[in-house]
Structure 1
Amino acid sequence: MDPIVEVVAVILGFIGWVMVGVALPNRYWRTSSVDGNVITTSTIYENLWMSCATDSTGVHNCREFPSLLALSGYIQASRALMITSIVLGSFGLVAALIGIQCSKAGGENYVLKGRIAGTAGVLFLLQGLCTMVSVSWYAFNITQDFFNPLYVGTKYEIGEGLYIGWCSAVLAIAGGACLTCSCKLGLDETVNLSPLPYHSRGTVYSGAARSAAASTYGRNAYV
Structure 2
Amino acid sequence: MRKRFIQVCGFLISTLGWLFVLCTMAMDFWRITQIGGQGGSFIIKVAWYWSNLWKDCFTDSTAVTNCRDFPVLWSVTTYVQGVRGLLMCGLTLGFFAAVLCFLGMECTYIGGEQQSKDKMLFAGAVFHFVGGVADIAAYCLYINRVARTSFAPSLAPGILRYDLGPPIFLGLVGCFCILLGAIFYAVTVYTVVKPKSRVVYAYGGRTYMDPRSRGRSLYTGYYGPYSGPSRLYGTYYASGRSSGSRISKLSATTPEKMSARDAFV
Alpha-carbon separation, structure 2, partners of 1:187 and 1:48: 40
Amino acid in structure 1 at the alignment position of 2:169: Y
| Deviation sequence 1:155-212 (CA, Å, 0-9, x none) | 10011010011011111111112212321146659x47x977574688xxxxxxxxx8
8 A contact 1:31–1:46 mirrored in 2: yes
TM-score after normalising by structure 2 = 0.70
Matched residue, 2:188: 182
Q: Within the alignment, does 1:157 sit opposite 2:163 as a pair?
A: yes
Tell me which moved more, 140-149 or 49-58: 49-58
Q: How far apart are residue 71 of structure 1 and its match?
A: 2.5
Match for residue 122 of structure 1 among 120, 126, 133: 126
Q: Does 1:26 find its partner at 2:27?
A: yes
Deviation at 1:89, TM superposition (A): 0.9
Whole-angstrom CA distance in 1 between matches of 2:192 and 2:75? 50
Give the Å deviation of 1:3. 1.7
Structure 1 residue 173 corresponds to structure 2 residue 204: no
- 1:106 aligned to 2:111? yes
Structure 1 residue 53 and structure 2 residue 55: aligned? no
| 74-83 or 149-158: bigger deviation | 149-158
* Alignment RMSD: 2.5
Higher helix share: 1
* 1:53-83 Cα distance to aligned partner (Å, 9 max, x none): 2111112222211233333221110000111
| Greater CA drift, 144-153 or 61-70 | 61-70
Kindly report which structure 2 residues correspond to 1:81-92, keeping only aligned pairs within 5 A, or say none: 81-92=86-97
| Count of aligned pairs between the two proteins | 204
In 2, are the aligned partners of 1:131 and 1:168 still within 8 Å (CA)? Answer: no
Q: Which amino acid aligns with 2:91?
A: I
2:17/2:175 contact within 8 Å kept: yes
Which residue does 2:18 correspond to in 1?
A: 17
Say if 1:33 and 1:44, in contact at 8 Å, map to a contact too: yes
SS at match of 1:123: helix
Unaligned runs of 5+ in 1: 203-211, 217-223
Shift of 1:34: 1.2
Judge conservation of contact 1:28–1:159 (CA < 8 Å) in 2. yes
Report if aligned partners of 1:99, 1:113 keep a CA contact under 8 Å in 2: yes
Q: Show the counterpart of 1:207.
A: none
Identity %: 23
Highest Rg: 1 or 2? 2
Distance 2:144 2:164 in 1: 10
3-state SS of 1:24 partner: helix
Alignment partners' CA distance in 1, 2:194 and 2:105: 17
Q: How does 1:201-220 map to 2 (within 5 A)?
A: 215=261
Task: Report the alpha carbon displacement of residue 39 of structure 1 after superposing the two structures with TM.
Answer: 5.6
Cα deviations by residue, 1:104-153 (Å, 9 ceiling, x for unpaired): 1113x111100000011011101110110001110111111001022230
Q: 1:146 to 1:200 in 2, by over 3 A?
A: closer
Q: Give ranges in structure 2 of 5+ residues lacking alignment.
A: 202-207, 212-217, 219-257
Query: Is residue 2:73 matched to residue 1:72?
Result: no
Partners in 2 of 1:10 and 1:2 — Cα distance?
A: 12
